[in-house]
Amino acid sequence: MNVGVAHSEVNPNTRVMNSRGMWLTYALGVGMLHIVLLSIPFFSVPVAWTLTNVIHNLGMYVFLHAVKGTPFETPDQGKARLLTHWEQLDYGVQFTSSRKFFTISPIILYFLASFYTKYDPTHFVLNTTSLLTVLIPKLPQLHGVRLFGINKY
């Protein structure tokens, strides 16, 4: 029995990405970021696409793979305290629809950025590095793994 807890989920942090309209809101947020970057006069189209990709991936890395714990008090004996949001997502079940969406979205953004930068080597290296920093932590083999003790506690 969850006394003093206002929600019925053991960890509501795990269901937020499956809520109604979340994917649309996410896509609109990325689109708005790109429009804001395009409206800055001294940014060319390739620079705006690369910045959109890099800012998106940096935000995704911080919010999904670096920040640990949950803003809610959970009755799970502190298990969520040691997990990142990605590891908590869908209670750790791999290959769910929300995990697939958040894996495919940076890939699609990478393809768009690469296309609109006309595969310029500088932009290509920046976009590829940015993509790898968000795709590698999403691998099922790295669930709960802390490289070199980083983010262990």
Measured distance CA(111)–CA(96) in Å, rounded: 23
3-state class of 4 per DSSP? Answer: coil
Predicted local confidence at residue 134, as pLDDT: 95
* pLDDT of 29 higher than 90: yes
pLDDT tens, position by position, 76-116 = 666 777 788 888 888 778 888 889 999 999 999 999 999 99
Q: What is the pTM of this model?
A: 0.86
Predicted local confidence at residue 144, as pLDDT: 74
Cβ burial of 37 (10 Å; 0-12, 13-18, 19+) is middle
Ordered by start, the domain boundaries in the chain are 13-143
pLDDT tens, position by position, 33-68 = 999 999 999 999 999 999 999 999 999 999 988 888
Predicted local confidence at residue 122, as pLDDT: 97
| Count helices and strands in the chain by DSSP H and E runs | 5, 0
Predicted local confidence at residue 148, as pLDDT: 63
Measured distance CA(23)–CA(35) in Å, rounded: 18
Q: What angle do CA 142, 148, 152 make, to 5 degrees?
A: 75
pLDDT tens, position by position, 10-28 = 677 777 787 889 999 999 9
Measured distance CA(64)–CA(89) in Å, rounded: 9
pLDDT band at 71, cuts 50/70/90? Answer: confident
